[in-house]
């Protein structure tokens, strides 16, 4: 995974990453404080580094402090730092059994489990990447999509597009709904058609559904969800899908974040209804 991409961050992941350099468990082991400081500066996280601000703490506490600060103040930079940090540990042999810098089976297992809960796969060799959703089916795919929903609802830009599918989040969920309901879907269908088919499969109203006298107010919400998803889909940078910013260049960062959160809302609505 390229360092320009970001990994998810939460308290569990922060604790697990700190364990990869737990000073108390062994004698001196690389990466060094100097290596870590280089990454901190490269990702502009000095404000969260206790060792750059008059304190002296071990490597584990240093990593946790930097990432905890990033979680609140600079999540994208923190996610990029996390990827670079895993690569740094890997480069020093931290994921190779027998290396003097091996992180240990427990620390590795904790890190694998922490990333898995957020839809990322950390291999025993230290290779960190998002799950390729095309390889998943059934409940495993539902669970993986839900991890992207949670990230999208927090405004995480890399949750906007599904890795390995070429679809945006709502499109991937709509295709999954149809696959679960009917065993197939048309990859050639455009977004409004695919989404409309998923809505009908779940007995949800779209703007094409007649408005009936005395119908439940939920029907209006369903139509609005459909319209919201179609509107957000129009904001996608179709030429840029999978490469860089997935939104039209005219969008501000605030508008892009709102679009991502909206995708999470609609995708969750469909998955829960399914």
Tens-digit pLDDT profile for residues 202-222: 999 999 988 888 889 999 999
102 and 140 inside one domain: no
**Residue after which a domain boundary falls, among 130, 151, 178:** 130
Tokens 């779209």 sit on residue: 206
120 and 197 inside one domain: no
pLDDT at 126 over 70: yes
Name the more confident of 129 and 35.
35
What digits encode the pLDDT tens for the residues 54-109? 888 899 999 999 999 999 989 889 989 999 999 999 999 999 999 999 999 999 99
Among 74-83, 105-114, 242-251, the minimum mean pLDDT is found in 242-251
**Helix (H), strand (E) at residue 19:** helix 11-19
| pLDDT range class, residue 144, cuts 50, 70, 90 | confident
| Average pLDDT rounded to a whole number, residues 246-273 | 86
Q: Is 100 within the bounds of a domain?
A: yes
How many domains, in total, are found in the chain? Answer: 2
269 and 155 inside one domain: yes
194 and 221 inside one domain: yes
CA-nearest of 91, 158, 157 to 120 is 158
* pTM for the predicted model, two decimal places: 0.63
> Which pLDDT score is estimated for 156?
67
121 and 167 inside one domain: no
Domain containing 151 equals: 134-273
**Residue after which a domain boundary falls, among 103, 130, 157:** 130
Burial pattern 219-249, b for ≥16 Cβ within 10 A else e, equals eeebbebbebbbebbebbeeeeeeeeebbbe
What digits encode the pLDDT tens for the residues 151-196? 788 776 656 554 334 568 888 899 999 999 998 888 888 999 999 9
Name the more confident of 76 and 132.
76
Q: Is 108 within the bounds of a domain?
A: yes
């Amino acid at each position: 995974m390229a360092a320009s991409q970001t990994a998810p961050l939460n308290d569990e992941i922060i604790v697990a990453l700190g364990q990869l350099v737990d000073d108390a468990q062994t004698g001196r082991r690389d990466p060094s404080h100097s290596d870590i400081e280089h990454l901190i500066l490269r990702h502009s996280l000095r404000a969260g580094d206790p060792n750059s601000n008059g304190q002296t703490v071990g490597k584990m506490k240093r990593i946790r402090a930097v990432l905890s600060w990033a979680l609140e103040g600079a999540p994208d930079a923190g996610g990029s730092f996390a990827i670079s940090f895993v690569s740094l540990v890997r480069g020093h042999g931290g994921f190779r059994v027998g290396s003097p810098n091996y992180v240990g089976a427990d620390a590795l297992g904790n890190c694998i489990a922490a990333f898995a809960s957020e839809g990322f796969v950390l291999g025993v060799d230290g290779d960190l990447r998002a799950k390729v959703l095309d390889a998943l089916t059934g409940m495993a795919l539902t669970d993986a999509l839900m991890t992207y929903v949670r990230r999208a609802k927090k405004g995480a830009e890399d949750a906007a597009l599904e890795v390995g599918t070429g679809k945006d989040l709502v499109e991937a969920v709509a295709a999954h709904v149809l696959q679960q309901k009917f065993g197939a879907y048309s990859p050639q269908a455009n977004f409004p058609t695919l989404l409309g088919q998923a809505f009908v499969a779940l007995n949800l109203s779209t703007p094409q559904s007649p408005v009936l006298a005395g119908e439940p107010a939920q029907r209006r919400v369903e139509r609005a969800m459909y319209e919201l998803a179609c509107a957000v889909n129009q904001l996608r940078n179709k030429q840029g899908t999978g490469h860089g910013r997935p939104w039209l260049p005219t969008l501000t960062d605030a508008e892009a974040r709102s679009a991502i959160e909206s995708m999470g809302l609609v995708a969750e609505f469909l998955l829960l209804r399914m």
